[in-house]
Structure 1
Amino acid sequence: MAGRLATEYKHLALTLSSEQLDGFLQLFQKHGFVTKSHVFGHGGQEDSTEVVLIDLHAQEIPLIFNHHGSYFKCVSSFKTTHLQLAQMMQQAIRMYYGHATVHRLYAHFEMVYEYRYGQVTQIKEVKNGECATIYSYQDQTAELEYLMKQNNVEVKIQHLKQKVDILLDERNRASGHHLSNIDHELFRLSHELFKLEA
């Protein structure tokens, strides 16, 4: 694949606890990035913390984390030409279940990645003004529920067929009033089987 020229975070949203914010900073520090933190405000709940990530080429990425209750929320956008910084941010988005719209810029095209709760939900290729979906996460919950329901129906059908077999065996040995009760139950079960198999 062609070399990436830059990575643009059109939208980045992270919500971190104070411990997670410390972990976020340490993640970048472990990989040689310089981080600076500045707290703005008067020591209250609505203070903001500016985190500045500085890469090896002295490129600064300012991120503002607003304090909301016991969490810090960051909604930001930036562009970087440093591949390792982009990779570390991708790792942070995954680790902290962030949301992002990321454009990976190449010479003749770009790849657009959508992240929701730390997972890639969509990948698109944009080339010559045309957009093609490469990957799209399909919420399979409804399909799985349908399959489970189908499976439950099959289990019910098997169970009813076993009941019918037992009743037919009993019918062969029965007589009088008991025979009429078995016929009534067989009619009910066959009607229920008909509905389930439809």
Structure 2
Amino acid sequence: MAQRVATEYVNASLTLTEAEMPILFSICGTQQLRQQVFVLDNGNHEVVLEDDAGGETIRLTFERNNGNYVCALSCTVVQQKLTDTLRKLVAAFKGDAVVNRIYPGFTMVYHYLRGKVVRIVEIKGELIRTVFEHKDALGLMESRFKLCSVEDEIAIVRNAVNELLDLRNARTDAGEIAEIDERLRHHSRLLFALEA
């Protein structure tokens, strides 16, 4: 298996509540990283994570925004512990990110949405290949259900048209026939739109 050269986080974002901040510190602690937490004058937090092995550090700046802490992050990481920690943080706090896992000769691009991988793309030179793409089964079922409700509406409109035609055939008054014809025109436009 190819050895990873580096992991690049592009536009990663995390949003935490004040109650979730200790969970973040706990996750970083279980990864055996040195961590320093600075609370700034404006209430922002800065978390510095350092790997013992290579001395690599990452700075996570959490800006206070409407009672939450928001961190926007772009960085390149080489050490495995830091890479694993960032991955766990994105998953645990339902973050969004584009992560480039760089290997000799190719790059795997992971797209995270609300903490879950929704797409994986392999890039080799000019060749771009989608390896994985999340299919929204629930959304697909909902759209199919909506299609069924459109079919039900079509049946209702057709029945209304049939009733109006029967009513038109039974009437002799020109005013009533004109009113029925107007309603038939409206129903035919609606039926055309639903069938399209």
CA distance in 2, matches of 1:45, 1:131: 47
Aligned residues: 186
Provide the C-alpha distance between the structure 2 equivalents of 1:8 and 1:60, rounded to a whole number of angstroms.
Answer: 14
Deviation (angstroms), 1:79 = 0.8
Helix, strand or coil at the partner of 2:162: helix
After superposition, give the CA deviation of every residue in 1:66-91 in whole Å (9 maximum; x if it has no partner).
Answer: 44243333333131231x64344223
1:145-174 per-position Cα deviation (integer Å, ceiling 9, x unaligned): 9988866654433212212333455567x5
Q: Secondary structure at the match of 1:113?
A: strand
SS in 1 for 2:86: helix
**Alpha-carbon deviations, 1:115-164, whole Å to 9, x = none?**
34434455332223x2515167899xxx9999888666544332122123
Aligned to 2:94: 97
Aligned with residue 192 of structure 1, among 176, 186, 189: 186
**CA distance in structure 2 between the partners assigned to 1:192 and 1:10 by the alignment:** 53
Give TM-score scaled by structure 1 length: 0.66
Counterpart in the other structure of 1:54: 51
Which residue in the other structure is 1:4 paired with? Answer: 4
Q: Describe how 1:5-84 pairs up with structure 2 within 5 A.
A: 5-30=5-30, 32-39=31-38, 41=40, 44-54=41-51, 57=53, 59-69=55-65, 70-76=67-73, 77-82=75-80
Change (3 A) 1:21 1:58: farther
Q: Distance in 1 between matches of 2:44 and 2:167?
A: 79
What's the CA shift for 1:102? 1.5
Select the residue among 96, 110, 114 that pairs with 2:111. Answer: 114
Whole-angstrom distance in 2 between the partners of 1:12 and 1:123: 16
What one-letter code is carried by the residue in structure 1 that aligns with 2:90? I
Q: Tell me, yes or no, if the aligned pair for 2:100 and 2:109 is still in contact at 8 Å.
A: yes
- 1:5-51 Cα shifts (integer Å, max 9, x gaps): 43232443323222222112222334x4234223154xx32444233
Whether the 8 Å CA contact 2:9–2:100 is kept in 1: the answer is yes
Match for 1:50: what amino acid? V
Match of 1:159 in 2: 156
Secondary structure of residue in 2 paired with 1:157: helix
Which secondary structure state, in structure 1, belongs to the residue aligned with residue 94 of structure 2?
coil
Secondary structure of 1:4's aligned partner:
coil
Contact 2:111–2:119 (CA<8 Å) still a contact in 1?
Answer: yes
